[in-house]
């Protein structure tokens, strides 16, 4: 059930994202909101069905409620992202923050965490990294993975006018309109999210039974489709390059790991099935 529901939501999400470059104006804004809601349901639903209520509640508390808190702080004070304002195109606001924004944090925090768990984990079905080094590596990898996603997200959303910076200097080369402080703020909040998830969500379990496959597919789809969309369809070549480099830290090793695991499964000799006659002999 976990995989079927997750794959179904992912398929609808992918379809919505494919339609994004084909739309404009209000239709594109509504599609953006719908995509974030789908992503949120996908991640929280997967956390609930695959890890249980404790993990899902921790994800919502840390990423959703924490995401709203940090965004409200950012809008009110300019810390930690810099001084910015949201337009009214992304739906209703609370404390100056569109309600879908915390959902976006949650949407990508979960696959970032699972990707890092898989890359730093131990045997299937066992808590990953019981020693001190593995949790730190996992937190660092998940932090970079989540924060690097913003190298795609912010340039795309700023280009659409969904939010605007009051002071966008200094900026990364090729990415005007977004201050470096924004990316540093993402790193700060991402490390807080991942550090809190580790104890609150329960033991991080690295699995090879396929239940996390939809989330790995989401993570890799986000990476490769974002590079393609920014480079070809959205006329944002600089963010395509920055994002490709930044998010590759987690995405490329995950892709390699999954390919190796798949090849290993194929190379394993299949056990001959015993017929009913043999079984009773």
Q: pLDDT, tens digit, for every residue of 118-148?
A: 999 744 445 554 444 568 999 999 999 999 9
- The pLDDT of residue 170 is 97
Place of tokens 């996908």: 42
The pLDDT of 149-170, averaged and rounded, is 97
- The pLDDT of residue 171 is 97
- The pLDDT of residue 207 is 75
Indicate the pLDDT class of residue 269, thresholds 50, 70 and 90.
low
Q: Is the pLDDT higher at 265 or at 36? A: 36
Alpha-helical (H) ranges within 85-132 are 100-120
Question: Are the C-beta atoms of residues 75 and 84 closer than 8 Å to each other?
Answer: yes
Place of tokens 């690295």: 206
Q: Is the pLDDT of residue 2 over 90?
A: no
- The pLDDT of residue 121 is 77
Place of tokens 């794959």: 7
Nearest-10 crossing angle of helices 133-160, 213-228 = 40
The pLDDT of 215-235, averaged and rounded, is 97
Q: Is the pLDDT of residue 195 over 60?
A: yes
Question: Are the C-beta atoms of residues 152 and 241 closer than 8 Å to each other?
Answer: no
pTM of the model: 0.90
**Which helix or strand (DSSP H or E) is residue 127 part of?**
strand 126-127
177-190 tens-digit pLDDT: 999 999 999 999 99
The pLDDT of 227-246, averaged and rounded, is 97
- The pLDDT of residue 172 is 97
- The pLDDT of residue 128 is 53
**Which helix or strand (DSSP H or E) is residue 264 part of?**
helix 237-267
């Amino acid at each position: 059930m976990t995989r079927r529901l997750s794959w179904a939501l992912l398929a609808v999400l992918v379809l919505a994202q494919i339609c994004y470059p084909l739309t404009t104006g209000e239709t594109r804004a509504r599609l953006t909101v719908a995509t974030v809601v789908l992503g949120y349901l996908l991640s929280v639903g997967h956390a609930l069905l695959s890890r249980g209520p404790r993990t899902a509640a921790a994800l919502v508390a840390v990423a959703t409620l924490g995401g709203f808190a940090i965004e409200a702080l950012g809008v009110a004070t300019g810390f930690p992202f810099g001084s910015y304002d949201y337009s009214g195109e992304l739906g209703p606001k609370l404390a100056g923050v569109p309600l879908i924004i915390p959902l976006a944090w949650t949407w990508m925090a979960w696959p970032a965490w699972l990707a890092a768990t898989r890359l730093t984990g131990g045997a299937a079905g066992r808590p990953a990294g019981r020693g001190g080094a593995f949790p730190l590596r996992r937190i660092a990898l998940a932090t970079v993975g989540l924060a690097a996603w913003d190298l795609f997200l912010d340039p795309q959303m700023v280009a659409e006018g969904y939010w605007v910076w009051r002071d966008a200097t200094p900026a990364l080369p090729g990415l005007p309109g977004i201050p470096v402080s924004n990316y540093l703020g993402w790193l700060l909040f991402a490390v807080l999210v991942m550090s809190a998830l580790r104890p609150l969500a329960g033991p991080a379990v690295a699995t090879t039974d396929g239940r996390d496959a939809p989330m790995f597919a989401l993570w890799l789809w986000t990476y490769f489709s974002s590079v393609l969309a920014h480079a070809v369809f959205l006329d944002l070549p600089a963010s395509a390059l920055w994002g490709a480099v930044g998010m590759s830290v987690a995405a490329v090793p995950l892709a390699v790991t999954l390919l190796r695991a798949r090849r290993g499964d194929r190379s394993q000799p299949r056990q001959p099935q015993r017929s009913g006659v043999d079984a009773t002999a």
